[in-house]
Amino acid sequence: MSTRSEHFTTGVRLPCLAVIVLGMSSAAAAELPATPWAWYGGDEYGRRYSPLAQITPENVADLEIAWTYSTGEVERRGPELIQNSSTQSTPLVVDGKLLVCTPFNRLVALDPASGDELWVYDAEIDLSFELPFQYNCRGVAVWNDAEAEAGAHCASRVLMGTSDARLIAVDLDDGQPCRGFGSDGVVPVPSEPGTEFPGERKLQAAPLVVNDIVVVGSSIMDNLRTDAPRGTVHAFDARTGKPAWQFDPIPRSADDPAWETWHDGSAARTGAANVWTGMVADAARELVYLPVSSASPDFWGGERPGDNLYSSSLVALDAKTGTVRWHFQHIHHDIWDYDTSSPPLLADIRRDGKTVAAVIQNTKQGFSFVLDRETGKPVFGVEERPVPQDALEGEWLSPTQPWPLAPPPLVPTKVTPDDAWGFTPWDRRACRKRIEELRSEGIFTPPSTAPGTLLSPGTAGGMNWGGAAFDPASQLMFVNVSNAPQVVTLVPREEIPDVKGISLVGGRDTAEGRGTPYGVRREWLVSPSGAPCVPPPWGELVAVDMAAGEIVWRVPLGSIEKFLPFRIPWTMGTPNIGGPIVTAGGLVFIGAAMDDKLRAFDVEDGEELFVKRMPAGTQTTPITYAADGRQFVVIVTGQHLWFGSTVGDEIVALALPREAISDQKLPRR
């Protein structure tokens, strides 16, 4: 077995994580102040960090289920609709209400301490969508109207995007529509040229609120055709719903300086480059940071020669006007579906005695680009490195791609026949033979026709939409990664079956790629027994010292026992989707893996201190908050279309038993 499957520690010395124990009376413990989780990323910086420290490495094993709540979606929707959905929601806790959206855009408010239902708003979305990945809601936003009178209806409001492309505002207190926002609380987000069918363009990420402006991106179906819908980002007045500005990441005029990066005027006939994951903003600097995805289609770029700005980039916009302040492209001419899937993270990094206001952009390639928040200039340096060439006739390739000098890549960027792995010698031989027949020259190897190109990392990452967590005290970033290579094969158009867009069968998807010479087929690189053909761990939690740009520790994330006919808790890691959070109590909480479990790890060394099976899949990000004198950890559980997770619809809250905290001395860093 590869040494990567063992506990890994570098020689880097951790920043001081000494815990100062402050004696507190039992009354003080009971008076733990209510602590919210008011943003999708925990705070406006998207750090997924909580100052709470009631739960510690010493007592985390005592966590018990405090309450559960079923949204009722499994029974309400039935098997067919549930199978066409994914549960990925991160709740908010604001002003005594826990807010969560279901995959079908029912917005539920619960009492954070008891889980009692307070109100429900049903967006009554279109339920006629047929293609995969149609129904999903990752989160909501809350905005407070500083100009409203105290107690006025919708002075505090919840904002939610829907799968049928509407932006909705309801009152935080009672869940009733905000009638001064759009039409009865609803703003239809303008349709984009090229949209062919309902659900091709959706609003699934949490809206972003910055200085009375609400910003929404969109999800667009991949790989259908060159002229996919435009990936326009829309901004609205948070009070009235009136349009504020819009930004199309693909330039549509020769007056735009990015136009010249689209040769032969190809920008005019290309779609997507949308923003489908979470955004963040620096309100003081009036900057919105957009993680922009790849242009359409993903794996063939012959119809769009050039570097293709602002696709596969981090773009900083002026929050008032939507104009570009700076941009950083992490993939030139992306033909690997390495779109910017991870939400940016704003962090103040201590380097050489100074504090650097940085934005960290993690990517599917396993790269962490650390950029100056105001200028976009790399903090650790980035170099252009030569990459494999010799694409199919008609394709255009960039001769180089950006490579961060630090931190190092968090996942392998090349697979060779010597890396072949299997549970049995038969599996290992089959994997070796498969790797030998594929084109595999390392990251950025161009896609090819049969037998195909080995893509490592695969299109699920590296890092994905779950994002990272950052502890400002230790300067450590915690991020989950997947190591599951894929095989990508370009299929001549005349050989593409009549898939009506995309088909998903047995872990393989096929898409038609209209307007190009090729469609595409993607499948996991797995052995006859179904395990990845590369050495475990296939999923990890990684801690990175962002001040030094160095990996501190990495540990496997997830067990494969759920997939075995016998109960052996092999912690070999699994591919994962979802994200971590970190607390001042010295813990990282994360679900994400394929085994339906919630875990807690020690921030100092990555030791797994708590693991509990949840009632359904955990491809979500947990949150933590304080209510009624207790620190809660809450995770939303349910079905995930691509991960084969257990079907369910329960929200689960965990906390320490009251008797365990009545005499607790709360630690604090």
Active site residues: 337
Distance of CA 550 to the CA centre of its chain: 22
CA distance 282 to 364: 24
Distance (Å) of CA 439 to CA 177, 433, 462, 531, 532:
55, 12, 20, 21, 17
As a whole number of angstroms, the longest Cα–Cα distance in the chain is: 75
In sequence order, what are the residues at sequence separation of 6 or more whose Cβ sits closer than 8 angstroms to the Cβ of residue 195? 201, 229
E strand or H helix at 659: helix 658-661
**Residue that the structure tokens 């365990």 belong to:** 660
One-letter identity of residue 561: E
> 560-569: buried (b, 16+ CB within 10 Å) or exposed (e) per residue?
bebeeeeeee
241-256 b/e with 16+ CB inside 10 Å = b? beebbebbbbbeeeeb
Please tell me whether the peptide bond between 344 and the residue prior to it is cis, using omega within 30 degrees of 0: no
- Using a 10 angstrom Cβ sphere, with 0-12 exposed, 13-18 middle and 19 or more buried, the burial of residue 183 is exposed
For residue 31, with 0-12 CB atoms within 10 Å meaning exposed, 13-18 middle and 19 or more buried, which class applies?
A: exposed
Strand partners, 106: 122
SS3 letters across 195-213: CCCCCCEECCCCCEEECCE
Burial 436-456 (b: 16+ CB within 10 A, else e): eebbbeebbbbbbeeebbbbb
Single out the residue of 354, 389, 357 nearest to residue 373, CA to CA. Answer: 357
* Cα-based torsion angle of the residue sequence 172, 36, 658, 652 in order, rounded to the nearest 10 degrees: 70
Strand extents, DSSP E, 14-73? 20-21, 49-50, 64-70
654, 622 contact by CB (below 8 A): no
Rounded CA-CA distance 118/116 in Å is: 6
Q: What is the 3-state secondary structure (H, E, C) of 80-118?
A: HHHHCECCCCCCEEECCEEEEECCCCEEEEECCCCCCEE
